[in-house]
Structures are given as C-alpha cells and as structure tokens.
Amino acid sequence: MALEFGIIQMIKRTNLKSTSTYFRFKLKTVLLLFLILYFPTFWGYTSLGTGQLIYLFAIIVLTLPFFLETKSYRFPLPTIYKLFFLWSLTYIATLAIQPFINNEIILKDFSDILRPLFYLYFFIIGYVLGIKLEKSYFLVTSVVVLTLLSFIFDILKFNESFQAITNLYAVFEYGELNYIRYSGTFGFCYNFGFVCLFGYAIALTFYSHKAITFFVSCIVMMLIGSRSVILAFIIVTLLYFFVFSKISALKKTIIIPNVIALIIFLYIVAVTWEIPVVSDSIKYSERLINALSGKEADGSLGTRSGQLAVAIERLLKSILFGVGPAKNNYPIEIQLGYYLSSWGIIGTIVFVSIQLNFFVVAARGLKLKDLFISKFSTANLLWLISALIVGMSTPITDQIRVFQLYFLIQGYQYGIIWPYRYYKS
C-alpha cells in the first residue's frame, strides 16, 4: 500500500497543472511525432539498410531529451515490459545457436537483439504520453493530421524538379509502378497504408461524418494501391459497420445498397477514365483476383508462395529458435513466416503474446464507460486487426518509421487506461 501510494503521488506530481506547461508539452509532443513521421531516411541517396540505420539512430538521439525530461524511465510500467526483455533474450538465443547449425553470423544478428528494446523505448514514450495528456483528442488529431500532410510528398514526386527533396524518402526509381503509388514519407505503399488505416479507424470512431470519411478513404486506398492494405480497409469497414457502430438495423439496410452502388460507380469511373495511379491500383487488384481464381499468374502472389516454402525450410533447420535474419538476400515478407523462420517457435510465441496483450488491453478499454477511452480503444482494436491482414505481405510492425508509431500508440493505449488498471472485464 505504501508503495502504491508513493507511485500515485509521483504520477500526480507529473501532471501538467498550468496552462503554459501543458501547452509546451503539447508542442514537444507534436515535435516528437513530426520527427517520427518526417525525419529523412535518405533512401534516394544511399542503400535501404544504411538509410534505416541513419533514421533509427537519429530518432533515438533526437527523442532522448523528451524521454529524459519527462522522466519516462521513472514511471511504473505495466508488466508487459518483461515480455520485451524476454523477446530480446530469444534473439540472443537465436544468435548463440547459429554456429551449431552451420549458419553464418552477420552484423544484423547482433543489431536485431536490440530491436525489442527499441520497441519498448517507444512503447514507454507512448505510455507516458497517455498518462500526461490523459484523455485528450490532441494526440490522435496530431497523428492523423501529420500523416495526411505527408501526402504533399506524393504530389511533389511527380515533378522531377523536386527529386532532391523526394529522394530523401523515395525507395524506387522515378516513374516505376511502386514509385507512383502513394507512400508519403514511408517509402513503401503498404507501410504508409497501414498508418493511414489508423487514421481511418480514428475518423470512423471519433468523427460524425462517416460517409465523407468512407468516400475520401476509398480514394486514399486506391492512391496507395497496396492490395493487403485495401483488403484490411474492407475488413476494418465491415467490422466497424456490423460490430462496433451503433447504427440501427433499418439504417444499415438503407446504407448497404448505397455503399455498393458508390463502389461500383467509382470502379466504372476509374476503369473508364484511366485515372493515373487509381486505375493502375484497380488493375493490380484485379490481377490478384484472377490469380486466385486460376485465370492468370501474379508475380507478387507467386513470390509470397515461394517465400512461404523457404520459411518452412528455414524453420525446420532450427524449430525452437530459428535461423536469424535472412543472409542470402531472400527475405521472408509474410510476417508470421518471417518470425517463425527467423526466431523460431519460441521467438514467435513471445511476439504473439505481446500482440495478444495489446489486443486484450484495447478490448478492455472498449468496455469502459469513459467515451474517449472507449472510442480510442475501438480504433486501436481495428488497427490491430488490420495489422494481421497487412502482415500477410510484410512484417508490418517491424518496418522502420512504422514500428516507432505502432508501439507508441500501444503505449498510449496502456497509459490512458492506467487509472482503470484494476478494472476486470
């Protein structure tokens, strides 16, 4: 009891009492999010790996003053933090067994040991933001607005005179299909699309104009053009509409035909008028449908099928701890396959356990009577579900710039329900 009282007193002392202090903290929060979303990866000027290292090192250094000033290291953490350390230990175990399975050890084997600790670092920052900002619309609004602003780079990149700027983020050569897909500052369309799905979930749960939100989001998803993101968008929409929304059954029967008609209309317009990017995305999606029905081959689907076979082969080489990161330039892009082949059953269990914890906490927040927490938890729950879908094409929660935001948001979820931590659902 004495320890609990001391913790409560410490939290109370960290509350942002004055208006000026609260305002300054908000500005620092915006700067923090801006750095995560906009600090360059320099992919147009260097290799993918080098750009990732530059970005990661810079973000850690630039956010460290915020971490230290807020005394984030002193906050009593939820017990999930132990899983992050266990996660790192499984990576060490994977590294230790490499010589025994005749695997070459590379630098990434050592650097990946720190990955779970980087994830924990951003989780703690989000957790502190949740406690200090409490039930504020400020964080979610800031994330959505800053994400949408990154569309500016997708407008600029079609003008070659701006390449000096867009090359700070662009991975692909000017004019390629993957170049013209909208990717913001994320370099890859599915990374950007996944973060946009969070904004979409927030808009569905917090904002009243659902029809406008859906219509605009349909266009955004077509501009992004990632099939896994589009599938996740459809599933998130259906889940919200049929499970989480409070729309009456009568209204749903009216809305459904109108939505179907709108989708058919947009499809006809995009196909007939050959709208740049959008028409390409539709054709790309049609190719997957044709491949699944056996009408034609699809390179991306074929690649994923081949990767699944390689993932199983690697897993069988070391079932418990995996073979570590790919050493033959043949990465596994399916998230579950990537974890099983790289970190084995043990590492995958820890990873899945952490994701389940996130899911349970969001579901718990959903049941609370507090309106803000309930809405945010609904949006986060939808985002967590979308990660399962997007994860079919890439290890989405491990991607640079994505994981910083992903674990920060999960930490924020824990932070805002801190006062309800003894709540039993």
Say how far apart CA 248 and CA 242 lie, in whole Å.
10
Which is more confident, 249 or 337? 337
Q: What is the dihedral of CA 95, 96, 99, 100, to 10 degrees?
A: -120
- Output 383 or 44, whichever has higher pLDDT: 383
User: Comparing 240 with 134, which gets the higher pLDDT?
Assistant: 240
- For residue 170, what is the DSSP state? -
pLDDT, mean over the chain: 84
Q: How many CB atoms lie within 10 A of CB 392?
A: 17
Q: Is residue 191 part of a domain?
A: yes
Contact 42, 401 (CB under 8 A): no
Please choose, from the candidates 162, 184, 188, the residue with its C-alpha nearest in 3D space to the C-alpha of residue 176.
188
In angstroms, the first-to-last Cα distance of the chain is 24
Note the pLDDT of residue 2.
47
Structure tokens, 44 = 């147009």
Environment class of 18 (CB within 10 Å of its CB; exposed 0-12, middle 13-18, buried 19+): exposed
Q: Is residue 288 part of a domain?
A: yes
Q: Has residue 414 been placed in a domain?
A: yes
The answer to the question of residue 92 being in a domain is yes
Identity of the highest mean pLDDT range in 70-74, 83-87, 153-157: 83-87
- Is the pLDDT at 327 greater than 70? The verdict is no
Question: CA–CA separation, 240 vs 398, rounded Å?
Answer: 26
- Write out pLDDT tens, residues 87-138: 999 999 999 988 888 877 877 888 889 999 999 999 999 999 998 887 778 8
What tens digit of pLDDT does each residue of 342-373 get?
899 999 999 999 999 999 999 999 988 889 99
The pLDDT value recorded for residue 63 is 96
DSSP conformation class of 240:
I
Q: What is the pLDDT of residue 277?
A: 64
Amino acid identity, residue 368? L
394 within some domain: yes
Closest of 191, 193, 218 to residue 204, by C-alpha: 218
Q: Compute the distance between CA of residue 248 and CA of residue 219 in angstroms, rounded to an integer.
A: 27
Output the furthest CA–CA distance in the chain (Å, rounded): 71
C-alpha 351, offset from chain centre: 15
- Give the percent of the chain with pLDDT over 90: 43
pLDDT at 1: 45
Q: Residue for token digits 């079609």?
A: 158
Q: 339 is written with which tokens? A: 């974890």
pLDDT at 318: 87
* Cα–Cα distance measured from residue 275 to residue 269, given in angstroms and rounded to the nearest whole number: 8
Domain total in the chain: 1
| CA distance to 151, 164, 323, 332, per residue, from 328 (Å) | 35, 32, 12, 11
pTM of this prediction?
Answer: 0.89
Q: In the predicted model, what is the mean pLDDT of residues 295-301?
A: 56
Q: Is residue 345 part of a domain?
A: yes
Rounded to whole angstroms, the Cα distance separating 142 from 66 reads 17
* pLDDT of 255: 78
Least confident of 54-58, 204-208, 244-248: 244-248
- As a whole number, mean pLDDT of residues 24-38 equals 93
Q: Is residue 425 part of a domain?
A: no
Range from 22-31, 75-84, 254-263, 401-410 that averages highest in pLDDT: 401-410
DSSP alpha helices (H): ranges in 134-209? 137-149, 151-156, 163-166, 177-180, 189-206
Distance CA 410, CA 425 (A): 19
d(CA 411, CA 407): 6
Whether the CB-CB separation of 114 and 107 falls below 8 Å is answered with no
**What is the band of 64 on the pLDDT scale with cuts at 50, 70, 90?**
very high
Domain region containing 223: 2-420
Helix, strand, coil percentages (3-state) for the chain, rounded to 5, are 75, 0, 25
CA atoms within a 13 Å half-sphere pointing along the CA-CB vector of 152: 9
pLDDT of 24 > 90? The answer is no
Give me the pLDDT at residue 117, please.
Answer: 96
Task: Indicate left, alpha or beta for 277 from its phi (over 0: left) and psi (-120 to 50: alpha).
Answer: left
Q: Which of 129-138, 148-157, 168-177, 394-403 bottoms out in mean pLDDT, i.e. has the lowest?
A: 168-177
> Which residue would you say has higher pLDDT here, 303 or 186?
186
193-215 mean pLDDT? 92
At residue 289, the pLDDT reads: 59
Quick check: is 281 in a domain? yes
